[in-house]
Structure 1
Amino acid sequence: MVVADQAVAPAAGRVALVAGATGLVGREVLAALLTDKRYTAVHCVGRRPLTVKHSKLFSHVVDFATLDTLPGIDHVDDVYIALGTTIKVAGSQQAFRAVDFDAVLAVARAAKAAGATKLGAISAMGASAGSGVFYNRVKGEMEDALSQLGYMALVFARPSMLAGDREALAQAARPAEKLGLFAMTLLKPLIPANYQAITATQVARALVSAVQSADKGTRVLLSGEMQQVH
């Protein structure tokens, strides 16, 4: 299913693909891409169509569990993946992994097959395949798996605690997150930059900027660096 004002995407200019555009960071990534003149088309894949309308935006409804090719998309240059959930929302570790690992890999593989050479993904602070924390271990395994796909350039954003209006996105409230953000605000002068709370907008802008400027290899963005991007 394609939702757009145009039937065919423009052929000239760069083409971006976004997965997770309805999320806290994903919506900010989408907003940045839609105002960036370097992109003439922005395709979004998700479980439901977007309500956002724009002349260069194309919304595709997909089932990540069975995704192997990108429907109605002939070519992609840059792919941005902001898919993510929590174990509480997902309901189990297996369901969490289906989103934060399986769906991410499915999008990355399909985008690579469509010609994408640069990929930017939202990961997490402390991501490591060897972590004893399940959440961080899955994020680390996701990074390792993406690194094996043959992309020319990879950028992993590992933000600390995210600040943003989740309720406006109809996402479940996270009391612990609110408490943590409040404590971080009070103690900000004492907290190292990489551990300070960061806004979704800052993460999105830093990720887009890093992907666009990437040449070859893998780059990891921590919160301290991302806070410097405007």
Structure 2
Amino acid sequence: MGKTAIILGATGLTGGILLQKLIEDNRYKTVKLFSRKKIERLPPKVEQFIGNMLELDNFKKDFTADEVFCCIGTTAKKTPNKETYKNIDFGIPVTAAKLSKENNIPTFLVVSAIGANPESSVFYSRTKGEMEQEVLRQNIMNTYILQPSIIGGNRNESRIVEKIGLVVFKIVQPLFFGKLKKYKITEAEHIAQAMINLANSTLKKQIITSEEIELLATKN
């Protein structure tokens, strides 16, 4: 009997890649998407629940699965208001973790970021750190927090400045060795594959660094 997976953030870069991988993965019978807008032309194994992600509690009855993959995240450019930003980057993953605990879902995976620290003076890093802290407080049996560096990949929306920045970053990457190695670009494809591999592993480590993401992505 196949497994059921929940994806939060399937309309984003990493979540979209993850969705396609889970559709093709025969270990998964059902993939549930919780999002604010519908994705068209998906196969029958995908169930979609559309609504306000800031009110995720409303989906409690349908929030049942074997694994939850949380790929939710915004940017300061898209969400300049700090309160709204925190409601998304902190509120949604934490609510999802609480629902997972309440509904006895044994595996919870969430994409955070390198440098996440609840004590950081940087709002972005502090928000991610506080999110991680609260997710871990739920004591879900298998909890995996992935901390990628800058995420690379082909985004649908036009983000010219970001694309230029990624090109420049890739050029200077050969200079990143030793302690700087962890700051190399983390491809969204690798994050998605690492998440699937983690969900189907017995690894007990909870914090997964950018370097570990790369290693996990290559495992069959």
User: Same fold judged by TM-score > 0.5?
Assistant: yes
Preserved CA contact (<8 Å) 1:128 1:136:
yes
**Does structure 1 residue 183 correspond to structure 2 residue 168?**
yes
- Which residue of the partner structure matches residue 71 of structure 2? 82
Structure-1 separation of matches of 2:8 and 2:131 = 15
The CA distance in 2 between the partners of 1:198 and 1:52, in whole Å, is: 29
Q: Could you tell me whether the CA contact under 8 Å between 1:13 and 1:38 is conserved in 2?
A: yes
Q: Pick from 110, 115, 126 the counterpart of residue 115 of structure 2.
A: 126
Query: Which residue identity lines up with residue 101 of structure 1 in the other structure?
Result: F
What SS does structure 2 have at the residue aligned with 1:185? Answer: helix
Instruction: Say whether residues 1:138 and 2:138 are aligned partners.
Output: no
Query: Aligned ranges for residues 106-185 of structure 1 at < 5 Å?
Result: 106-166=95-155, 168=156, 170=157, 173=159, 175=161, 177-185=162-170
Counterpart position of 1:197 = 185
User: Residue type of the partner of 1:203?
Assistant: I
1:219 corresponds in structure 2 to 206
Distance 1:74 1:139, change over 3 A: closer
AA matched with 1:183: V
For residues 34-53 of structure 1, what are the structure 2 equivalents within 5 Å?
34-53=23-42
SS in 2 for 1:213: coil
Select the residue among 45, 50, 54 that pairs with 2:43: 54
Q: Which runs of 5+ in 1 are unaligned?
A: 1-11
For 2:135, what is the secondary structure of its paired residue?
helix
Aligned length: 214
Q: Percent identity?
A: 29
Matched-pair contact (CA < 8 Å) for 2:73–2:88 = yes
- Once the 2 structures are TM-superposed, how far is the Cα of residue 227 of structure 1 from its aligned partner? 2.2
CA distance in structure 1 between the partners assigned to 2:127 and 2:199 by the alignment: 23
Going from structure 1 to structure 2, the CA distance change for 1:110 and 1:69 (only over 3 Å counts) comes to farther
CA distance in 2 between counterparts of 1:98 and 1:174 reads 26
Matched residues in 2 for 1:135 and 1:189: separation?
Answer: 27
Q: In the TM superposition, what is the alpha-carbon distance from 1:74 to its structure 2 partner?
A: 6.6
Q: What SS does structure 1 have at the residue aligned with 2:37?
A: coil
CA distance in 1: counterparts of 2:52 and 2:173, whole angstroms = 41
TM-score, scaled to structure 2: 0.89
**Preserved contact between residue 79 and residue 111 of structure 1 (Cα < 8 Å):** yes
2:89 and 2:211 map into 1 onto residues whose CA distance is 24
**CA–CA distance in 2 between the matches of 1:63 and 1:185?**
36
Structure 1, 183-192 or 149-158: larger mean CA deviation: 183-192
Judge conservation of contact 2:100–2:108 (CA < 8 Å) in 1: no
Superposition deviation, residue 107 in structure 1: 2.0
Does the aligned pair in 2 maintain the 1:68–1:109 contact within 8 Å? no
CA contact (8 A) 2:60 2:99 kept: no
Q: CA RMSD in A?
A: 1.8
CA distance in 2, matches of 1:102, 1:17: 17
Give the Cα–Cα distance (whole angstroms) in 1 for the partners of residues 58 and 196 of structure 2: 24
Q: Which one has the bigger helix percentage?
A: 2
Deviation digits for residues 186-216 of structure 1, max 9, x if unmatched? 2222113311112110111112211221454
